[in-house]
Amino acid sequence: MQDQSASPVPAPAPAPVATWRIVTAAILDFTTAFFVLGHAVALVSGGTTATGFQLNGLPATVLFVLIIAYFVIGNRTGGTLWKRLLGVPVRRSA
């Protein structure tokens, strides 16, 4: 008798995503993170102005770190806000 052990079948490759979705998600993610997190940091640090917010020094550095954290944590947990909304999958490195 032949040994007919089942060999694993590779998963099909995911369908390619339209470039416009990837670019749009990146632009909207950065814009959203900048304004939402920037306003939050400005409220805490007293950097709000009549037209929005202005951050210098440490508050600006905090905003920079928070934006990086948004992208790192978002991509590790299945995608940032706009990637999820626009259906852009997160690529996992092997």
Residues 36-78 pLDDT 10s: 999 999 999 999 999 999 999 999 999 999 999 999 999 999 8
41 part of a folded domain:
yes
Please enumerate in sequence order all residues whose Cβ is within 8 A of that of 53, keeping only pairs 6 or more positions apart, or say none: 38, 39, 41, 42, 47
Residue 22 tokens, joined: 């990837």
Rounded-to-integer distance, Cα 27 and Cα 13, Å:
26
Model pLDDT, residue 25: 95
Residues in Cβ contact with 86 at an 8 Å cutoff, skipping those fewer than 6 apart: 21, 24, 25
Number of structural domains (the chain) is 1
The pLDDT confidence band at residue 17, using thresholds 50, 70 and 90, is confident
Residue 16 in any domain: the answer is no
Residue 63 lies in a domain: yes
91, part of any domain: no
In terms of residue numbers, what domain contains 51? 37-86
Residue 65 lies in a domain: yes
In a domain, 3, yes or no: no
User: Distance between CA atoms of 32 and 67, rounded to whole angstroms?
Assistant: 10
The mean of the pLDDT values for the chain is 89
Do the domain assignments include residue 57?
yes
Q: Is residue 76 part of a domain?
A: yes
Residue 94 has pLDDT above 90, yes or no: no
